[in-house]
Amino acid sequence: MSRAAASRTESSLHSEPVQRTLRRLHAAAAGDWKKFLGITPRYLAGLVMGKKMHETITPAVARDIYMPVSPAKGEFLYITARAIGARNIIEFGTSFGISTIYLAAAAKDNGGGRVTGSEIEPAKHAQAVANLAAAGLGDSVDIRLGDALQTLRDITAPVDLVFMDGWKVLYLPLLKQLKPVLRPGAVVLADNMSGFRKSLADFSDYLLSERNGFHAVTLEFGDGLAYAVYLGEQTESA
């Protein structure tokens, strides 16, 4: 057996229950565009009234829309988490659990790690818990129901990896809240940096300013993925 084939069999990501669950979920998510069409009039009406997107498209309005990472981005989450040996992984915005499956497979393969996820919409949360169980990864996750700013308040150090994929208005406050528990070398990945360039301008500036302790780039991957490494508290040089 070749080395690649051997590692394929050993990885949780390529186990039958994980692959079967991912195929089912990615196929279901392919119908998202029809649901987006359904909420477009509401979004446009909000724009006319001067409302911000998150004020019109609330989690409840988007309760049956997956909005998942692509399979390629999911694989990227998996290998990034494997590369840094991440065992304590935090996810903002779990939805139906697609990205969570990729991260949980990595946490498990890194030796008994865990993903702490967060989802504010109750029906999605229940589905995510069921999907992770169907993938055989129930023991590698703790998916918390409620507003991430509250449910992720008691996270303890050392956090190895954070994946930001919830509503954009919370990226910066949540990053500031989690920063004290990041270990030096922790990776922060944040999705949709190009699609939400304006809403994420403050978050982007914060990550790019080295005095905040991060070294970051935005990868042209899908609609932009920020990849930041936490280097630790920066001290003023003379």
The minimum distance between CB 9 and ligand SAM, in angstroms, equals 26
From candidates 147, 177, 197, 213, binder to ligand SAM by CB under 6 A: 147
Which of 99, 110, 140, 204 is in the footprint of ligand SAM by CB under 6 A? Answer: 99
The verdict on 124 binding ligand SAM (CB under 6 A) reads yes
Closest CA to 73 of 227, 202, 205: 227
Task: List the structure tokens of 97.
Answer: 């659990």
Q: Which of 103, 109, 137, 165 binds ligand SAM (CB under 6 A)?
A: 165
Written as one letter, the residue type at 178 is L
How many other β-carbons are positioned within 10 Å of the β-carbon of residue 130?
14
Among 76, 167, 196, 227, binds ligand SAM (CB under 6 A): 167
120 binds ligand SAM (CB under 6 A): yes
Q: Which of 13, 87, 114, 119 binds ligand SAM (CB under 6 A)?
A: 119
Please report whether residue 118 would count as binding ligand SAM according to CB under 6 A.
yes
Contact 66, 25 (CB under 8 A): yes
* Among 192, 99, 86, CA closest to 143: 99
Beta carbons of 89 and 113 less than 8 angstroms apart:
yes
Smallest gap from residue 79 Cβ to ligand SAM (A): 16
